[in-house]
Amino acid sequence: MNNLSVDIRQSLPGLSRNQVRSFWAAWAGWTMDGMDSFIYSLVLVPALRDLLPRSGIAPTPANVGYYGGLLFALFMIGWGTGLIWGPIADRFGRVRTMMFSITCFSVFTLLSAFAAGIWSLAILRFLAGVGIGGEWSVGASLVSEEWPEHKRVKGGAWMHTGYYCGFFLAAGANYYIGSRFGWRSMFVVGGLPAVLVAFIRNNVSEPRRWSAKLEDLGETWRMHHAFLQLFSRRYLRRTVFNSIYLIVSLTGLWAGSVYVPTAMTYIATRTGNSEMVAARLASYSTALLGGATVLGALIVPFLAERLGRRVTLGILYGIMLASLWVAFGYVFYMGAGAIAWFTVCAFLLGLGGANFVVYSFWLPEQYPTECRASAFGFITNLGRFAAAGFTFLVGAGIRHFQTLGKPVALTAVAFVVGILLLPFGEETKGRLLPS
């Protein structure tokens, strides 16, 4: 970690030691977050085939799809409940809150390895989601406030690559561990992020901007004060539209592209491959998805600084719309060549998935320090309740139509809505981060 910090300081002169360490803490936390949240996608089929009979439910493809969607929905509700971390971070600090959230999702992911049935796994995934729900809002606020103004957009975008690097870790763990030792071993791997807490506690300090603002506000400042600012006359409009944009993005991720490894598993087994080969192909597609999104994250700052935040988001929405519709509406049902073409679609889904990167620097630009984490936490996590509903509907659609492809393809409609509403967003190109 120290060697990596030196490399970044050499490539970006002017960063202080705490700025570097803050970045790595946020990046590593978001990486572990991405790994833990995607582990379930990789083990969904084998885990439910094992646990459904233990709960008295036949492990048919329809039931796997239905209960898989239900567990995704419960996880999303837990993640949405993570909006509580925003006000906590505004009142008690970004660094302390990050440590608590990492501990929460690590412990409950680890305990998922010992699930005895479908419902115990559902509860543990819900609780893991609560912890995961704090990472993005706290990490983005930390980097935005700690990094210098002329590097802030890049810092926010680079921090966000961590989530998709977590896909690589999850895919690698599934390839070398999950495919050999079973789905429970993957949740054991998911408990490892807890070790990151020790690094954060000993090496990262709170941003001066936050400390100075808290001192100005005084001891009477409370968590609910930060939260209520989001609905003031000044911020209500942007809070509403930002929440809609996040619902669109989250629907595309959790009701759409998150099914990439599951779809690849079905395509591979349908074309005569063994379960081990199918698991490895699912890992390949997940790694490709993550790699394409990291590539997109490196491109996003360039586009956002030249075209603006809204246009950049619109381009990425368009890529998601087209690739979801083609991947699940057409390629999923192909015979020969389905694996190759679905791999191409996975790359495009990953590239379009970089739309989340825009929020990492766009949302902090729209709110002041005293309510920045609350705004980020509320907007990014509120959308997960709606996404949970769409995820459940996808699962119900899979059960009803007895197929995975068409219900997932229909989630592309969400991006049509997003594109139509983007002109109402707050354009912040060229503005300084509010004090």
310 within a domain of the structure (yes/no): yes
Structural domain contains residue 51: yes
Once rounded to an integer, what is the mean pLDDT over residues 341-368? 92
The verdict on residue 2 lying in a domain is no
Confidence of residue 203 (pLDDT cuts 50, 70, 90): confident
**Whether the predicted pLDDT of 12 surpasses 60:** no
pLDDT band at 320 (very low <50, low <70, confident <90, very high): very high
Share of the chain above pLDDT 90, in %: 33
Q: Predicted confidence band at 1 (pLDDT cuts at 50, 70, 90)?
A: very low
Q: Contact at 8 Å (CB) between 355 and 349?
A: no
| CATH number of the domain where residue 363 is located | 1.20.1250.20
Whether 434 maps to a domain, the answer reads: no
Report the pLDDT value the prediction gives residue 256, as an integer from 0 to 100: 67
Cα 52 to the chain's mean position, in Å? 27
**What pLDDT, in 10s, does the model give residues 109-155?**
999 999 999 999 999 999 998 998 888 889 899 999 988 888 889 88
Calculate mean pLDDT across residues 197-209. 84
Residue 392 has pLDDT above 80, yes or no: no
Residue 217 lies in a domain: no
Side-chain half-sphere exposure of 112, counting CA atoms within 13 A: 35
Report how far residue 264's alpha carbon sits from residue 365's, in angstroms, rounded to the nearest whole number.
38
Maximum mean pLDDT: which of 26-30, 84-88, 136-140, 237-241: 237-241
Range of the domain at 309: 8-204+223-424
Instruction: Determine the Cα–Cα distance for residues 292 and 357; give it in Å rounded to an integer.
Output: 13
Token representation of residue 297 = 């994250």
Whole-angstrom Cα distance, residue 262 to residue 403?
12
Least confident of 66-75, 81-90, 105-114, 228-237: 66-75
- Is residue 435, in this structure, part of any structural domain at all? no
User: Which pLDDT value is given to residue 364?
Assistant: 93
Residue 192 placed within a domain:
yes
Q: Report, as an integer, the average pLDDT of 253-282.
A: 79
pTM comes to 0.82
Phi, psi of 231 (to 5 degrees): -110, 15
**CA distances from residue 232 to 220, 239, 375 in whole angstroms, order as listed:** 19, 10, 12
Residues belonging to the chain: 435
Calculate Rg over the CA atoms of the chain: 21
How many domains is the chain built from?
1
121-130, 175-184, 217-226, 273-282: least confident range = 217-226
Looking at residue 177, the DSSP 8-state letter turns out to be: I
Closest Cα partner for 142 from 96, 102, 95?
Answer: 95
For residue 337, pLDDT over 70 is answered with: yes
What confidence score (pLDDT) does residue 7 get? 44
Q: Is residue 108 part of a domain?
A: yes
